[in-house]
Amino acid sequence: MLAILTFRNIRPTALYIGPADNPGIRKQKPAFTMKRVPIFLVLLPLGLWSIFVLPGLLAGDPGFWNWRRAVVLLSGILALWWMSAGIVLAARPRWLEQRLGGLDRLYQLHKTLGIGAGILVFAHWMSEWLPKNLAKAGLLPPRVRGPKSPPDFAVELAKHVGEWAGYILLALVVVALVKRIPYRWFRLVHKAFGAVFLAGVFHGLIMLPGSFWQQPLGWLTALLAAAGVVPALLSLSGRIGRQRQYPARIEALHRHADGILEVVCRPHDDWPGHRAGQFLLADFGTPAEGAHPFTIASAWQRQTGTLTLAIKGLGDFTGQLAQTLRVGQAIQIEGPYGNFDFCPSTTVDRNQGPAPQIWVAGGIGVTPFVARINDRIARGSTATETDLFYCTPRAVDYPENLESLCQQAGVRLHRRLTDEQGPLDPADIQSRLKPGASVWFCGPSAWGEALGKALTGNGLPRDAFHREAFEFR
């Protein structure tokens, strides 16, 4: 799948696997910033092109058509680099997931690269098509062609394959970005990117001039293209994430107010367990829908061997689950994923104890906090000073015993009914921030971005604001 659409900086790191209430633990930062990857994928090929290609271009005929050919080649190479990087991310490799800060951020980058690749493919196509047609209209000087070489079947095939792959890619990008299209159609469209990528690789490598194979830009382009072939084949065969998939069975279903359905699942014995705040992909047996992401709303306790998903009916698929799911039903889960684990990113002085935390939940975004609360109760760990701001449009009791759970876990609960009291003011959070404190947010994406900007703009360190950023599209 070419990366566009949302399915969650350069330094070595390690994973935190212990409780956030342990003082003195240092959570390592992501190895890559997402901003650096696109910059790297632009500057490196441009740098190599400037060193090995540009001097020859400047020394030769400076005519328009020579420069146009150079632009066509460069835009094509950049598009192939971005497509290759995007499809590698689509395979969800574990080593990259952790270095990028979790699967949610990996897919954010996946989306960015996909959109960028679409723009580059369009630029590649326009730099080829537009001057040629302007010349036909007499608006540009005609090209002076040399003697024709004998027709090459591979080259001619690559031209046609590349042209049609470009048309299909641009159409797929547009379709995939329209969120009103049902997810099942989005999923099918997204899967087609694997075939489009393979067509693009064939076109790009065949059309690459022979001189490029004698310098690093050509070697790296071929290497990146080859790296993307395996993920493309895995995508087309439906094998992405296969090693992290586990059978499970529904043990109980609980319906709550406001359209929230709790699904209690018992994974197979080889389920590795999860940290509070992580999510998984669940496939309930609907082939057209496939797997959907859900935050795990329970702490993992091996003695019970169950986990809970809290699902709110926000769309066609999730809205029907309360009627379609049955106790005893076999399902498939994949994961766990995510670094929303309540581990502070800064070192805490052992003499001062654990750093305080502020949790902000919007609606069903309370689920990772419920998991963390249960985890703290199970561990008997209440040392971390914690405030939970739970914001809903109207009075919602999920879970029904939330207030009691917060008291047991040593969490101060602040309810806010946004329809009556208005949205939560960042100043309310700012007033409770103490030195070394971190803020953990799970809720609507736009609200999370605005809240993060407001708090960091008022002095909160960027790595102290944590937001679950996972979207499938």
Domain at 362, CATH number:
3.40.50.80
Look at residue 25 in the predicted model and tell me its pLDDT.
Answer: 37
Q: 176, 210, 236: which is the final residue of a domain? A: 236
Tell me, yes or no, whether 30 lies in a domain.
Answer: no
Statement to judge: residues 86 and 194 lie in one domain: yes
Q: What angle do CA 356, 359, 360 make, to 5 degrees?
A: 150
Cα separation, 360 vs 366, in Å, equals 8
Statement to judge: residues 301 and 372 lie in one domain: no
From 321, 214, 236, 295, select the one nearest 2 (Cα to Cα). 236
Cα–Cα distances (Å) from 405 to 233, 256, 374, in that order, read: 47, 17, 7
Look at residue 177 in the predicted model and tell me its pLDDT.
Answer: 73
Tell me, yes or no, whether 21 lies in a domain.
Answer: no
Look at residue 206 in the predicted model and tell me its pLDDT.
Answer: 93
Statement to judge: residues 276 and 229 lie in one domain: no
Look at residue 230 in the predicted model and tell me its pLDDT.
Answer: 92
Look at residue 472 in the predicted model and tell me its pLDDT.
Answer: 53
Look at residue 435 in the predicted model and tell me its pLDDT.
Answer: 86
Q: Which pair of tokens denotes residue 362?
A: 């919007």
228 neighbors 88 (Cβ within 8 angstroms): yes
Cα separation, 109 vs 114, in Å, equals 8
Look at residue 470 in the predicted model and tell me its pLDDT.
Answer: 64
Tell me, yes or no, whether 253 lies in a domain.
Answer: yes
Per-residue pLDDT of the chain (473 residues; tens, 9 = 90+): 333 333 332 222 223 333 444 433 344 455 456 678 899 999 999 999 999 988 888 887 778 888 999 999 999 999 999 999 999 998 888 888 878 878 888 888 988 898 899 999 999 999 999 998 998 888 888 887 766 777 788 888 998 898 888 888 888 777 777 777 777 777 777 778 899 999 999 999 999 998 899 899 999 999 999 999 999 999 888 888 888 999 999 999 999 877 889 999 999 888 999 999 999 999 998 887 888 889 999 989 888 899 999 998 877 788 889 899 999 999 999 999 988 888 865 544 444 557 899 999 998 899 999 999 999 998 887 778 999 999 988 877 788 899 999 999 999 999 999 888 888 999 999 988 888 899 999 998 889 999 999 999 999 998 899 987 766 55
Statement to judge: residues 88 and 219 lie in one domain: yes
Look at residue 314 in the predicted model and tell me its pLDDT.
Answer: 77
Q: 337, 370, 388: which is the final residue of a domain? A: 337
Statement to judge: residues 333 and 427 lie in one domain: no
Contacts of 405 (CB under 8 A, 6+ apart): 370, 373, 374, 377, 399, 411
Tell me, yes or no, whether 18 lies in a domain.
Answer: no
Statement to judge: residues 307 and 389 lie in one domain: no
Tell me, yes or no, whether 306 lies in a domain.
Answer: yes
Tell me, yes or no, whether 28 lies in a domain.
Answer: no
Statement to judge: residues 250 and 165 lie in one domain: no
Dihedral angle of Cα 434, 440, 445, 448, to the nearest 10 degrees: 0
How many of the other CB atoms lie within 10 Å of CB of 205? 17
Look at residue 400 in the predicted model and tell me its pLDDT.
Answer: 86
Look at residue 233 in the predicted model and tell me its pLDDT.
Answer: 93
Q: SS3 string of the chain?
A: CCCCCCCCCCCCCCCCCCCCCCCCCCCCCCCCCCCHHHHHHHHHHHHHHHHHCHHHHHHCCCCHHHHHHHHHHHHHHHHHHHHHHHHHHHCCCHHHHHHCCCHHHHHHHHHHHHHHHHHHHHHHHHHHHHHHHHHHCCCCCCCCCCCCCCCCHHHHHHHHHHHHHHHHHHHHHHHHHCCCCCHHHHHHHHHCHHHHHHHHHHHHHHHCCHHHHHCHHHHHHHHHHHHHHHHHHHHHCCCCCHHHEEEEEEEEEEEEHHHEEEEEEEECCCCCCCCCCCEEEEECCCCCCCCEEEEECCCCCCCCCCEEEEEECCCHHHHHHHHHCCCCCEEEEEEEECCCCCCCCCCCCCCCCCCCEEEEEEHHHHHHHHHHHHHHHHHCCCCCCEEEEEEECCCCCCCCCHHHHHHHHCEEEEEEEHHHHCCCCHHHHHCCCCCCCEEEEECCHHHHHHHHHHHHHCCCCHHHEEECCCCCC
Statement to judge: residues 158 and 227 lie in one domain: yes
Cα separation, 87 vs 357, in Å, equals 37
| pTM score | 0.82
From 239, 228, 170, select the one nearest 202 (Cα to Cα). 228
Statement to judge: residues 363 and 442 lie in one domain: yes
Tell me, yes or no, whether 214 lies in a domain.
Answer: yes
Q: 236, 253, 281: which is the final residue of a domain? A: 236
In terms of Cβ atoms closer than 10 Å to its own Cβ (0-12, 13-18, 19+), residue 326 is: exposed
CATH number of residue 329's parent domain: 2.40.30.10
Q: Which pair of tokens denotes residue 314?
A: 């926000």
Statement to judge: residues 228 and 259 lie in one domain: no
Structural domain boundaries, residue 162 = 36-236
Statement to judge: residues 272 and 306 lie in one domain: yes
Look at residue 353 in the predicted model and tell me its pLDDT.
Answer: 59
Cα–Cα distances (Å) from 473 to 9, 169, 173, 287, in that order, read: 23, 17, 12, 18
Look at residue 34 in the predicted model and tell me its pLDDT.
Answer: 67
Q: Which pair of tokens denotes residue 424?
A: 């939560």
Statement to judge: residues 82 and 106 lie in one domain: yes
Tell me, yes or no, whether 463 lies in a domain.
Answer: yes
Cα–Cα distances (Å) from 93 to 86, 90, 99, 244, in that order, read: 12, 8, 10, 11
